[in-house]
Chains A and B, each alone.
Chain A
Amino acid sequence: MSYKRPRATSPSGAQKRPRGAGATPSTITLGTELPPDEDGDDGTFVPVWKQTVTDERGRRRLHGAFTGGFSAGYFNTVGSKEGWTPKTFVSSRANRNKDTTQRAEDFMDDEDKAAAAESRELETAQSFATIGRVGDSQNDALFGLFVTEEETMGVKIAQKMGWRRDQGVGRKVRRSARSDDTAGATAHAFAPKDSRMISAAREEVNRKGLGYQSEARLGVTEEKEPEDRPMLALPWLEGPSKTKASEKAAPKKSSFGVGVLNDTGSDDEDPYELGPKIKFNKSLGKDKKPKKPSKFAKAGVERIVFKPKKTPGEASARPQLSYDGKPPLSGFVLATQIIDLTSKKRYPPPKIPPGWRSSKSTTKPADAKSHQSVSDAAKSSTLDAKARASLLGETLLPGKSVFDFIPKEVRDRLATMTGKVHLPQGRGEGAPEGYQDPNSTKPKDLWTFVPILDKGTAAAALAKGATGWMPYAEDANKRARYVGFLEIRAGLKTELPERAEKTSVSDWAKELQEFAHAAEVFKPTSGLMASRFTSSTSTSLPGSGTATPNENLLRQPATKPQDPAEQAAKLGMYGPMTRSTFPFHPSRLLCKRFNIKAPPDMPPADADADGASFGGRTEEAVSKSAMDKMVHEVLSKGAPALQRPAWMGATPEETLEAPSTPAVPLEGAHATVDVEKNDALTQERAPEDVFKAIFGDDDDDDE
């Protein structure tokens, strides 16, 4: 939308502005014509250079740059034809900065200067005296000091008449001088003593009607401000308020507290007073502590106290006057000192003669002796639990300790951990009659054959079977037994694992053992995250009543998953499991120094330059899973069989370092791995042609 109105390129006749009165004599014009609006658009002809573009609000648009170029300089100008001109450089080489002293005026602006000029005006000191009135010093002790006493005309006249300050007015008095050595001094004429002017209350000029009771009608006992108070009065300088007591009782009880508006007018109560009412000492000079009202006597204040005994000598020595100037009443003597009741003499209690006994005492001393707390009594008792039980006629519990029930290994572990060697022997007994787990009582002997398996492991192995692969795929019955075993160990079933037909108990136990290992091996691989968490293991395994509470008694911290090779080495299974191979690239110079041919697949040249090693991919002779399997197999067969059931007895003495028996793969396991031979390593290297066919193109492309 354009706000620029189309204009005629040249002024037409009709648009000619009627200027001046003489243009059209027929029309009458009244008043003065408005000056032509510069920006206003009345449709008249405006030359192009005068035309402006405005927006809808009349603001000018298209400034210099749009009207044909940048013209900040010359027309709408910044000073010169070129626009901004740099200030010419003035060298200070010859014209050094003069060492001018700075004045305060250099830093003053106009306001400051005006203030300074104003302060220079002379003023009379009279204004200073306006805060007080002359001669009012009797009720204005403090400000009397400050007020410059202006000589009033009366004072001047009096001075001219011979009056001096601090003299009384009147005739001179003849008397002797009041000095210490006045004996025989002649009398002189002295000015009369200055007497205080009696200040009469000034007449209050009220212009009120008869019977007008202003605020008194409101029933507020308001303390009238003393009218003759100085203009700047300090109320605390006045004498003690006599109306204080009545004032305290005054506050109105009708309202919800005293606000600012119904201020009683007294200065003693600050309506805004908050917090603890600490009274600050507001007077100059020595601070006077308010006298604490004593119960008996007021210290420091002489007062008449009844004194029963007369001290005639003292009384006759000097006539005593009471504080009102009169002698005390007959029969009374002024106390010379205050009887201090608090420091009355105290007498010790009477001594009880030795051997005296009160006939009133009822407690026997023997009773106090025998009083003893229950815990003390318990401590002194030599009876143990068994003796107490027999005393009370309870049926005896089997007199056995924990050590009778825990196996030997656990006891040893306890001993090593606590450092106490004299622990009783662990016997590993079963629970006594009547305390057994009802589930486990009947087939107790058979339960011992069921190997222990971690609940989490069993559940994991089960879950893996549910989702994916499971061992013993070729033998459905065996698989069912495996699942049954896992279910028992996972806590889903409680009865004994089923036994295949025509198998002996030992075979059955062996199979269960194998199941346990299979579950260990085939449980889902724990990832990085899984290794950081340990599943909570439940200690109450069904059917583990007798021989099995050992593993959970002392929990060992979960160890990091070990390197299988490391594990194998610890087991003494040196060989393929502990050996791994990785390629490296010896530098050419090294091969030269050793006088050997460099390996064939050396990267060409420039490997000599850096002595860095070439850490390559690790090629293991045996796959990790197979290695795991073998380790578990050895665990089950060989040395420290942790999960060996009790009936198998002690582990046969096998040396750790015995050359590893050829690892027997797990029965029914899917893949059998020949650990002695690895095809990947032993097989021939592919002929060069193959590599050429695969990688040869790159070289061609490069060149």
Chain B
Amino acid sequence: MPPFPATPIAKLTGHTGPVHAVAYSSSPHSYILTGAADRTIRLYNPSKAPPSSVAPTSSAAYAPGLVTKYNAHGYEVLSIDVNAANDRFVSTGGDKTVFLWDVQTAQTVRRFTGHAGRVNRGVFGGEGDSVIVSASFDGTVRIWDVRSTSYKPIMTFSDAKDSVTDVLVFEGEIVSASVDGRVRSYDLRTGYCEVDVIGYPVTSLTLSKKGTEVLVSSLDSTVRLMDRGNGQLLKAYRDEAFVNTDLRVRSTLGLNDSVVLSGSDDGMVFAWDLLGGTALHKFRHSEMREVRGKAEKKEKGRKDIVSAVAFCPSRREWASAGGDGNVVVWGTDS
């Protein structure tokens, strides 16, 4: 078994606020888009940002590896999703608006307004990424039509009793996660919605490649792998050092769905074996190193959070975005 990518290979600097969203670009997966609380979205080329890179002192200067900045958000950026053609991406944030961007011109193509609260997540969906599904603090999931010029959503799911934190689209299904502790799978083919009660506020959803399992992060410091077929629990991933009780922390599957990766409230990144459920690796994001053995208790700083992790779908590489404004790309030194 090849080793787990545990060496920092790039450091993306420049954000002046906590980074809330990190996303790899599609198909060649060579770029990384980051969205942060400083209201900017940045497009990085991680290959040009060595791990030793430091943030430029002046905000006008470009940090190493920075390709473009996208400025339109008036509030923090909470999620980014790139379409399959790599020419558009969607970003959402605190301004209750879903932004559809053109990558080349760095301008917004469309802005979908209608949510009553901050939009926690926006993803592409449908045939040829023809819709955008957004999940909002107002408890609704709205589906926006990219093709038409209608300003109204195609559909709204307002079944959630609390803020909807994450949403994903898989073929004909829309899966949403809510703070009311439920994961709702809207199957457009059958017209039935299956509600799975997790019991704790759910903050992150990741689907396996087959689409039959879903990885669920909830605020009881547990990441669960749920069987979507019958709603049963396949595996729960915990660690005594793993803390996730307050913040929206993303988790993800990686390495061909063999590891579970999750950020945490206290600046650690945890990697579990998907089948065994044992914690394989622990990383401290701010120090850019792996923590072996018993993780020493550190004084938790306000910014010492790993709020988002993203696994590169093609390479053995992943990125972690922290509260210090830096994104660390981890890989194998070859």
Q: Footprint of B on A, CB under 8 Å? A: 563, 565-566, 568-570, 572, 574-576, 578-587, 589-591, 593-599, 601-602, 608, 611-613, 615, 655-657, 659-660
Contacts and interface: CB of A to CB of B under 8 A. Distances in A.
Interface in B118-163: 125-127, 130-131, 142-143, 145, 147, 152-159
B223 to A, nearest CB: 11
Contacts of A660: 232
Interface size range on B against A: 35 or more
A402 to B, nearest CB: 34
Nearest to A609: B152
Contacts of A655: 236
A586 B188 contact: yes
B231 A575 contact: yes
5 contacts: A574-B198, A578-B231, A581-B195, A586-B155, A593-B154
A613 B157 contact: yes
Contacts of B154: 587, 589-590, 593, 608, 611
Contact of B236 (A578, A595, A657): A657
B292 to A, nearest CB: 26
B194 interface: yes
Contact of B195 (A579, A595, A602, A612): A579
A570 B196 contact: no
A587 B195 CA distance: 20
A582 B193 contact: yes
A569 B201 CA distance: 12
Given A566-B199, A659-B232, A590 B193 contact: no
Interface in B182-238: 186, 188-200, 224, 226, 230-233, 235-236
Nearest to B238: A657
Nearest to B237: A657
Contacts of A579: 194-197, 230-231
A593 B126 contact: yes
B126 A583 contact: no
Contacts of A568: 197
B162 to A, nearest CB: 13
Given A582-B193, A593-B154, 7 more contacts: A569-B200, A574-B196, A574-B233, A581-B193, A584-B193, A611-B152, A615-B158
Given A579-B231, A594-B188, A659-B232, A584 B195 contact: no
Given A569-B181, A574-B226, A590-B131, A584 B157 contact: yes
A584 B191 contact: yes
B276 interface: no
B156 A566 contact: no
B172 interface: yes
Interface string B238-250: 0000000000000
B221 to A, nearest CB: 13
A598 B232 CA distance: 28
A286 to B, nearest CB: 81
A582 B195 contact: yes
Contacts of A566: 181, 197, 199
Nearest to A584: B193
A569 B194 contact: no
Given A586-B155, A589-B154, A593-B126, A611 B142 contact: yes
B226 to A, nearest CB: 7
A599 B142 contact: no
A587 B155 contact: yes
Contacts of B147: 593
B316 to A, nearest CB: 29
B169 to A, nearest CB: 8
A570 B198 CA distance: 8
A602 B145 CA distance: 20
B156 A595 contact: no
A586 B186 contact: yes
Contact of A613 (B155, B188, B196): B155
B191 A576 contact: no
Contacts of A589: 145, 154
Q: Which 6 pairs of residues, A with B, have the shortest CB-CB distance?
A: A569-B199, A599-B191, A579-B231, A657-B236, A595-B127, A574-B233
A568 B181 CA distance: 12
Contacts of A590: 126, 131, 143, 154-155, 188
B101 to A, nearest CB: 20
Contacts of B156: 611-613
A613 B152 CA distance: 14
A583 B199 contact: no
Contacts of A594: 125-127, 131, 171-172, 188
A641 B126 CA distance: 48
Contact of B194 (A570, A581, A602): A581
Given A574-B196, A574-B226, A574-B233, A586 B191 contact: yes
Given A584-B186, A590-B154, A601 B191 contact: yes
A579 B154 CA distance: 27
A552 B72 CA distance: 60
Contact of A572 (B155, B181, B233): B233
B153 A569 contact: no
Given A566-B197, A575-B230, A578-B231, A613 B191 contact: no
Contacts of A615: 158-159
A210 to B, nearest CB: 117
B86 to A, nearest CB: 20
B227 to A, nearest CB: 8
Nearest to A608: B154
